[in-house]
Amino acid sequence: MKLKIAYWAVTGLFCLMMSYSGFSGLSGSPQVVEGFRHLGYPDYFRVLLGTAKLLGVVALLVPLVPRTLREWAYAGFTINLISASVSHYASGDPTGNVMGPLIFLGVMLTSHQLWHRVSRGAAEPRPSVQPAMG
């Protein structure tokens, strides 16, 4: 039970961060548009990425999503966060901007590992412990 609570807490935190990022990308606010321009990306990429993040959040939060789709969502977030870190580094941004996506990546990887542990625990019945004879 504690494992399941930890999974949902970490996953909820990660999805909250990615939802904020996704909606920010779709908002077209001047700060976000300038941020993407600064990194060298075209404006349409901001909308594409924002949409992908929100779809990924749905894939992580809806329990009935097939396992393969959930794995693809985790993979997509991994690629996104590593790419964001590399983009900030290549643009000469401060260390905090480079490390931010990597911190989110750590939270996401924790969610991924907890998901595997929770789903493995639900799928595999625990063997009963038999007293040793002898």
> pLDDT digit string (tens) for 62-85?
999 999 999 999 999 999 999 999
DSSP 3-state assignment of 107?
helix
Model confidence, pTM:
0.86
**Scanning the structure block, which residue is given the tokens 């924790």?**
110
47, 25 Cβ separation under 8 angstroms: yes
- DSSP secondary structure string for all residues of 20-47: HHHHHHHHT-HHHHHHHHHTT--HHHHH
**What's the pLDDT band for 110 if we cut at 50, 70, 90?**
very high
What are the sequence ranges of the domains in the chain? 2-120
